Structure 1
Amino acid sequence: MLQKTVFPINRVRVPVKRAKTLDIAKMTELAENILEHGQLTPIRVRADGENFVLIEGLHRLEALKALGEKTVDGYLVHARLH
């Protein structure tokens, strides 16, 4: 079972391929929702040394950055090696 953790936003790296999918309008709408209700859904990250790589939750992460937040709620997912 995944355990919700608080991650420093500045330690979460967004892969270039995923960053290209950012929809500014969707991110802005989500930021407004987060202001009103808080972050409802955690992001998912995997460990990368002392930092983390975003797996899921680009718009939530970017909305929190836009709001000036320093942390994000998320789940640490253990990547499987193939």
Structure 2
Amino acid sequence: MKVISIDIEKIYAPVKTRKNLKSSRVDELAEDILENGQKTPIQVRTGQDRYVLIEGLHRIEALKALGDSKINAIIVQARKH
């Protein structure tokens, strides 16, 4: 699998996924990413004119908090939610 860099603004996080967001986890990840960089890419699938998040909401939010506009991702084949 190839890791690519994509614009965070082109990623759609389904409502079901967003319900599980924990701000304390976002803060911890932001601190870790600031010190060590993004270790694990998120997983997305392609959608119409955007990417749909499969895994990695906390990493997206952590990078947003740090002011980043791009994130490392892997495009996977996945069923629609």
TM range (shorter): over 0.9
Provide the residue aligned with 2:7 in structure 1: 8
- CA distance in 2 between partners of 1:9 and 1:58 (Å): 11
Q: Structure 1 residue runs of 4+, over 4 Å off?
A: none
Equivalent runs, 1:2-41 vs 2, <5 Å: 2-41=1-40
What one-letter code is carried by the residue in structure 1 that aligns with 2:57?
Answer: L
Provide the residue aligned with 1:64 in structure 2: 63
TM-score of the pair, normalised by structure 1? 0.92
TM-score of the pair, normalised by structure 2? 0.93
What one-letter code is carried by the residue in structure 2 that aligns with 1:52?
Answer: Y
Does 2:51 correspond to 1:52? Answer: yes
- CA distance in 1 between partners of 2:27 and 2:71 (Å): 17
Give the CA deviation at 1:80: 4.8
Name stretches of at least 5 consecutive residues in structure 1 with no aligned partner.
Answer: none
Name stretches of at least 5 consecutive residues in structure 2 with no aligned partner.
Answer: none
Provide the residue aligned with 1:43 in structure 2: 42
Q: CA RMSD in A?
A: 1.2
